[in-house]
Amino acid sequence: MSSLVDKMSKKFVFIFFSLCAASSLYAKDISYTEHIRPIFKDHCLNCHNPDKKKADLDLSSMAGVLAGGSGGEVVKAGIPDSSTLYLTVIHDDSVEPMPPKKSKLPESKLNLIRQWIMGGLIESVGGKSQLRMIAFEVNAGNAERPENPAMPQKLETLELLQESPVTAMAVSPWAPLAAVARHGGIEFFNLDDHKKMGALTFKHDIFDLKFSRNGEVLLVAGGRGAHTGLVTLFDVKTGEKLATLGDETDVVLAADISFDHRFVVIGTPTKMVKVFDVKTGEVLHSIKRHTDWVTSVSFSPMDDRVATGDRNGNIFVWEAEKGSILFSLSDHKQKVVQMAWRADGKMLASGGDDGKMVLWDMSDGWPAKIVDAHKSKSNEDRYTRTTGVLTLDWGRDGTILTGGRDRRVRVWKVDGNRLHDYSNLDVLPTAVRVINEKKDLLIATFDGQLLTAEDYKAKTLHSLEGGIK
């Protein structure tokens, strides 16, 4: 009995999930042999067979489908919206429609193809799905818990404009502490009693705030458009400036600090990624691989891997010390707004202006799951659109938060399945953060509000300083 208790007390619990599980959609497996090849036989094989492989693509066998064509792979298990084969048959604007010069296939057949891809490209009934099994250790992020988490001991008394948009927000990974960017500085809140603790002056516009992985350093990134860009590191306990990095000619849009405090990486509108040595202040690498503004930067919690995303939807994962690229990730079609790593460093979540949330397997850069997190089907212009992820966070327990242009905040399980919605916001959420120690959430809005809940699935939101939303 005691050994059982010991095992339970360690809480090394593994959550296994399959991306094809728990959905009635796959109650009956859709397979290539029984369901998909007959569709190809009627509509595709005249041009895509072993003897006449147009675009070097043979759809007459499962092996041929998986081999792809002259343009590379045509199907991705579980991801129809990134599978060229599916995009061509639904006549998506991004690819050449198939069959050529003909109307689309009947919806019933298109749905079968979609379900087959979603179900993992099963070859025959009873066959094996190609979807991945992913494991997550619940306690993976608790190994480096500090004995005495840092809380501010000396702050300024500043009157910052409360109605101004919250442009950035960070929550300490270990302490009941939130840092909120407002015009003129950073406010600090105690998340135990919800009281304002004080502030620090920052005379520039703030675009990004990050606590270090041990919670002892606060990174503030920003500047003045077409004039100044910099990152300042503050000691959380004392409020003292530890370092100022960067002398940029435009603002720093995004930045992060490595788990061991050795490196800071910044992203700017000049399409540039810069890696700084924190100790010396020197620029180790200046990398111009992005094709547009670098809008998001996120370090792995375990090592020097860092992900950078841009306004064109491209993501690169680098080794900060070497400046070398590990993966190029391209499933977003619009701006990458925010990224966050899972606590064990094995997966990366990204949210984009296309409304998608992508969970990337960092062993090989594979998009393990793509979710329409905040995506509307209505016709929208730039002023009324409700499609787009505006903010994203991944908690230590595996819980994911997103906020979108649809004025909703959504809570997701570790596998990317939706857990709960907060749909009663009357303004855009500008930041959402997991309060790890409480399994709670903190929301900042465009009009300066700070909202919280009692837990992930609470029915109502409360103002951080009192009152029900």
DSSP string, 94-158: TS--SSTTSPPPPHHHHHHHHHHHHTT-BSSTT----PPEEEEETTGGGTT--SS----S--B--
Average pLDDT, the chain: 90
Share of the chain above pLDDT 90, in %: 76
Task: Give pLDDT, residue 15.
Answer: 39
Which stretches does DSSP call E strand in 300-452?
305-310, 315-319, 324-329, 336-341, 347-352, 356-361, 366-372, 389-394, 400-404, 409-412, 418-422, 429-435, 440-445, 450-452
Q: What is the pTM of this model?
A: 0.86
Summarize pLDDT for 126-137 with one digit per residue, the tens: 899 988 766 677
Summarize pLDDT for 426-436 with one digit per residue, the tens: 999 999 999 98
Q: Is the pLDDT of residue 460 over 50?
A: yes
Pairing of strands 241-248, 133-137: unpaired
**Any residues with CB less than 8 A from the CB of 305 and at least 6 apart, and which?**
299, 317, 318, 319, 320, 326, 345, 362
- Residue 272 CA to residue 468 CA, distance in Å, equals 43
Task: Give pLDDT, residue 164.
Answer: 85
* Tokens coding 28: 């009956």
Mean pLDDT for 238-243 is 96
Phi and psi dihedrals of 209, rounded to 5?
-130, 135
* Tokens coding 376: 């509307």
- Residue 385 CA to residue 89 CA, distance in Å, equals 27
What are the distances in angstroms from CA 398 to CA 213, 314, 419? 16, 25, 12
* Structural domains of the chain ordered from first start: 24-118 (no CATH), 146-463 (2.130.10.10)
The region of weakest confidence among 12-16, 123-127, 421-425 is 12-16
- Residue 433 CA to residue 166 CA, distance in Å, equals 13
Task: Give pLDDT, residue 134.
Answer: 64
Q: Is the pLDDT of residue 454 over 90?
A: no
Omega into 100 within 30° of 0, i.e. cis?
Answer: no
Task: Give pLDDT, residue 78.
Answer: 87
Task: Give pLDDT, residue 143.
Answer: 59
> How does residue 182 score in pLDDT terms, banded at 50, 70 and 90?
very high
Phi and psi dihedrals of 14, rounded to 5?
-105, 130
Task: Give pLDDT, residue 276.
Answer: 98
Pairing of strands 450-452, 440-445: antiparallel
**DSSP code of 33?**
I
Question: What is the distance of C-alpha 282 from the center of its chain?
Answer: 29
Task: Give pLDDT, residue 140.
Answer: 63
Cβ atoms 188, 197 nearer than 8 A: yes
The region of weakest confidence among 7-11, 195-199, 404-408, 429-433 is 7-11
What is the H or E stretch that residue 217 is in? strand 217-224
- Residue 230 CA to residue 47 CA, distance in Å, equals 57
User: For residue 372, what are the β-bridge partners?
Assistant: 356
What is the H or E stretch that residue 14 is in? strand 14-18
Residue for token pair 């979710």: 371
Task: Give pLDDT, residue 7.
Answer: 41
User: For residue 66, what are the β-bridge partners?
Assistant: none
> How does residue 299 score in pLDDT terms, banded at 50, 70 and 90?
very high
The region of weakest confidence among 52-66, 117-131, 292-306, 349-363 is 117-131
Long-range contacts of 435-439 (CB under 8 A, 24+ apart): 435/171, 435/176, 435/178, 435/191, 436/141, 436/171, 436/173, 436/174, 436/395, 436/396, 436/397, 437/174, 437/175, 437/176, 438/176, 438/191, 439/395, 439/397, 439/399
Q: Is the pLDDT of residue 223 over 90?
A: yes
Q: Is the pLDDT of residue 374 over 60?
A: yes
Mean pLDDT for 227-248 is 97
> How does residue 225 score in pLDDT terms, banded at 50, 70 and 90?
very high
> How does residue 87 score in pLDDT terms, banded at 50, 70 and 90?
very high
- Residue 89 CA to residue 49 CA, distance in Å, equals 17
The region of weakest confidence among 124-138, 315-329, 352-366 is 124-138
Q: Is the pLDDT of residue 2 over 70?
A: no
Q: Is the pLDDT of residue 12 over 50?
A: no
What are the distances in angstroms from CA 450 to CA 120, 182, 340, 453? 41, 12, 21, 11
What Rg value do the Cα atoms of the chain yield, rounded? Answer: 24
Neighbours of 113 (CB within 10 A): 22
